[in-house]
Structure 1
Amino acid sequence: MEDESICRFDRAGDPNARLNALTARGSVALDTVQSFRPENISEAALDTSDVIAEIHFPRAFDLKDVLNICRAIHEGDKTRNYTLASFNCFFFALAIQCCLTRFVARWEEMMLGSTLVEELYTAIDAFPALFHDSQHSPPAFLRAYSILNPKNNWTTRNFLDEVRYKLSSSIDKDIFVELNNALWYQSLSSVPVLALERSVKKAVTKIIRRRLAPCRTNKGSNCNCQSPLEQGAHQCILMMRRLLILTNKSRGGGTPPDSIPKKRLWEMYRSRVAAKYLIKRQSTSPSGPTANRWTRMNYQGSETGIGPEEVTQIMSFAQCLLILHCYIKDLLPWIFGLALSLCGVTLFTTLDSRPCVVIDDELEYAVSKLESIHSPSNLESFYARLHTLCIDKNATWNRSPWWDILQTITDSIPSDLPTIETHGTVLKVAFNGEPYPEATTVRHFQDHILSRIRSQARLVNNVSLADAETTRIELEKRLMQIWALIRDDKSLEVLRTRLSDDQVSQEIKPPQADQRSNVKEPEVATMALYNYPSSLVHTYAAAIRSGHQCKSPASRESAELPIVAPATTTSAETKEVSWSIVTIKKREKQPLPSGTLEVGDSGLLSQTILPRYRQNDPRSNAASYGSASTNGSLKYKKKRQSFTKATQQNRPIIEDQFEQDFFNKGPHRKKDHASSLSNTHLSGPDKPTATTDESEVDTSFLEVLLGAGSDNLETWWQILGFAKVQQGPIKVSDCIEALEAVGFSLGRRNKSQITFCAPSELKETQWRSKLPCLTLHIPRGANVEDNGIRDIANAIRKKYPNMVNVMHKVWTETGM
């Protein structure tokens, strides 16, 4: 730290479940953070550790940046647990080094400031002419659409011009996204190709879907399908739209990057919001009594009378037993299978291999036959072939519809694209305790980290815990995942700023002098990284910064912040400010504390990432923030205002505002598009809803919404018109299930009309009187068509506008 204090991050496995560390799932990770003031450095026991690397960064960091990385480690599906082979303390330290080093690398500025973007724009502008000169055949989708819908004159030239226009408007954004996702220097050479692939795929897919969308109507009533030929053409176009969805299964030229599934995204969103301010639930950590015991990840150990030599011997013997157990577990099944095979017993049968059906080849053949004979009988065979491709599980794209366009643009890009890091960011690193650090670039330091990973993988292979190459790939992949969780986090905590107006607001103020108590025990702050809500991370950072000790509340029945025991240490240069947590209820008429608060810099690595607030934002009257001084201190002033309802609605509390900027990570992070709507009532994309007081409805109905599944929510998004890509009929059973999932109860049913009673949660809050029931015209068939979906959406928007507002906010924040 800047004041010579030490902050130690450590990872260990559960001492009561050591065998679990050998499994692929691992054991519960006990990750701790300890802070030692300069006068207590001896308690850190530095003489028992060896300095492997000492890194001096060219820019300053705050302690919360490291805590941010720790939170990303615990959000990973595998890295949150402790495994002896991969995700141990070595991986924990490497993740912090990699992410902090990547933060200081200004690759986005260097590449966007070079001639790379100009070269790509030149290639995009020239690709229509090159596409014609290369004598590429028009895409099969385009040729089939021109035959099936001859009234719409959609030529190849028009199609290429539309693609060029969309690429020119999105390529710079996609380059920034790919640069932002890149962790290793070795992956920068593939950034232009990946950005082009992303842009071309989006452009071609949107154009084709837009062309096919007008024909997607209810039984062809709006298509004027008079002759059998027109009706067959309409059905073929609908089947081509279904076939386009299978492009995500392509083997080459358009394979999308790994992403979090929607169901997993909704589970993360639901558990995070519920743990913060709505529902008190148990942890989703690995099952078992041991996991329930360590839900807070605050293990501190117990003092015993064993000496260091005895501890070393015991740990070595325990490691031998663990490795022997791993050998026996893998050896016995192999011996058993070998004995049965010698006796003629076959345990595993070989699967019958079925060849894959290449969609692009089959589609090309079908379109060529369609061009030869244009008759209703030929349309029937074309429709049957398309339907077979859609239902065949072995069908896959070898070359996606946009592959020829992507190849044409890629071939026109010059091979000598500008590189970066020629005069890149310079670090000062001292390895193995060397007295004088040497200057090195981010590229060479990453090479050093990769060599450390390879040596760790070889060590794991030497003790036969895992294969060396598999371990190396796994470690590099998970490090990239951690970086993606930091950079691509949608900050679901921002929902608390917009929806928690009815909740308890936390304000921080300095206590009186007579309230301070002497703390004689070591000033150690332990961070429970696993299950504490992310909104409390900056509270821990402030406590560690000031040398306080964080303790958990004795009672878990109240959702309060951890108790902060104030310290009495003061510095000669900077006066330490002791902090306490004060909770203020919403309707308590208490004035906000006034004055200027100054946070000391004793616990800061340094201060560079400061909240950036809009100058014209009316909420900026609540607090004015100063800039970081040379010694890294952070100052902010809070003006005295009356604690009125209007003030609460027009500005977020200081903690939430600080949290919102804290979780918007990265120096080049793009602002959330929904942040400008934080003071308005959001509605669906089709019709605006009435402006109402949402402070009560949000929290009550959101609790019901958190209990719904992701499949039911996707049905709601489709009904209300949020997910415009997923058009088409909805199953009647799915529609009824989605209504019941959010609290609607099934009432009377008269032929095709069904009456639903409104959720009871809405009756108890916003509307003091009885809510009207919802009567819907749902057909007795299997599906609800587009016209019926629009009628259902209009009825719901008219009777329950606040419910639609809450759903739209959740849809905006989750990105589902």
Structure 2
Amino acid sequence: MKFKGLPSSLVNNRLSREENIRGSSGSSAAFFLRTFGVDSHDRRRPCLMEFHSDWQHPDCKVIRWYRDQQVSSTRFRSIQHRRNTDNVFLHEFLLLELSDGSVCRVERTGDGSNVDAIRNVGCLAADYIQWFTASEYNTYAARNTTELIAHVDFHHDFDIEDVLAICYAIQRWRRTSSYTLQRFNCYFLCGTVLLVLARRLAQWERILTPDTWRSALQQARERLHLQSHHLKEQHLFLRVCQMLEPDNSNPADVLFGALTEGLSSRKGYETAYRALAGTLWRESWGQAITTAFAQHVEDVLTSASERGGMCAERLKLATTAKRHELMGNSGSSAMVHGIAEKQALCAVRDGMVHLNKALEERHRMDSMEHPTSRSRRLMISLAANALGILFPVQLALSRSDMEEWGFKGECGLARGVLTAVTVGTISARRRLRERENEKRGISVEDTALAENSKSASEFTLQANYEMADRALKETLAELQRNNMVTYYNVVIALHMILSKNLWNWWLKLSICKVLVDILPDLLPDREQLTIKASGQGEIKTFIQYQEFMRGRIRQHANRVEQFRLAAAQLVYQDIQDAVTDVWQSVPLSTNKEYQRH
């Protein structure tokens, strides 16, 4: 087939794309050739992993298949990660090398059309496991061209049941139970099984005992003393503490003393343990512990102020006092108030513009999978601009929770109106895009992207944190330029920022971010396994293996974008998040040694 009038590079890319899509079904065709001549009751017949909703239910046909395998060994220490090389799609599968020399092949295929497979909703996934004697598989393999991606030796026994538990967890999540060529295909199944098994072997949470946790907290407090100057350069919160108690070289000591003591309790240890047990990727540990410990901060402020910590007392004053009480005790309070409000509005306006760039990029990437007509894009743009212009009026008239934002009083000013228009337009555009398939409008509450901390997503919380951080930083800088830095003026400035429900998590997150920075490394990279990967040096640690697998996910994501099936960054992030979801939902093994609490 020829494409007349098109550049050769475009033609080649289109042909490659079509070949890649067609190749996705090649694995299914090759797979079903293996089933001919095998009796339906023969243990060698492929088992379609259709699980009962209850794990290990006696009526589950997958569990019955597993029991049939128990006439021989079901244990393994190593897995071959392989791929076919007879089509562009490069179908991947796993070979569990059982201790008696036999093997089990595990793979995912798509049970549906190629068109369904490239849609976001996907087609039905068909996950199979099949047992072979060594000689039978060697005969089969001799007729099929495959290559080794990696040979993983765990140096520890696992059981076929452990792999079944992971496949069960994959199918329990709606998005990963479907087969999509972009994300949840054979690569995803193989990678997830290997990463989860390796994570179980690492057993990070087993390293964290009450004693090691207390020791880590003590080291954190010592590091706060030894590296105070360096840490103040990195963390605005510590500079605020110094301004609140300028005569103390380490004003945050009492606060973090109360924090480490509180977290040394059984409750604190269990919080850390749960956060660590749910962590799959090393890079996500900091965020996990920050979120987990934010709930402890209010109790810490109370405890530290009761101990006589001046910095803690003044922090508590900034978070609990009424505005009129603070404003009446300082002659310069009105000026501080004006500076803080001006910087807050600037932070919101600039923060929303920056956020809009990120949202536009996200929309561009989404459009690769969900294209929108030009007329629809024009309609959304016009509607968003109209809602943005009306937003200041809606905000002024609203009697809802919007009044508690803390910005309503400033919306009557010129800069406040302009900021409200910016917020309304950007937020309306996002909401309209999200609800393209919903037949309903959006209210003033919907127009607000920056929800309060009780309802905000992690994405919004981070955006609000950055806005608050910038507003406070610029306010303090302005106070310094005007030679107005007193502890009381800093209290007023802090109150003006934290009294806005958009930003009331700034203090909690700031304290937790310092804690994460001063805690010692709790995730040792020990040599526990041996992985011989094609084109790579020998891998001996779980964290090294994570990096190897992350590289493979990136390669796959880039390939997907090359064929214009989806944006690489979205594919990469979605796969990483999905593997984490699976890790957190794998049912407890009957093997007590590997149970997570």
User: What is the TM-score with the length of structure 1 in the denominator?
Assistant: 0.34
Higher helix fraction (1 or 2):
2
The two structures have a TM-score, normalised by structure 2, of 0.45
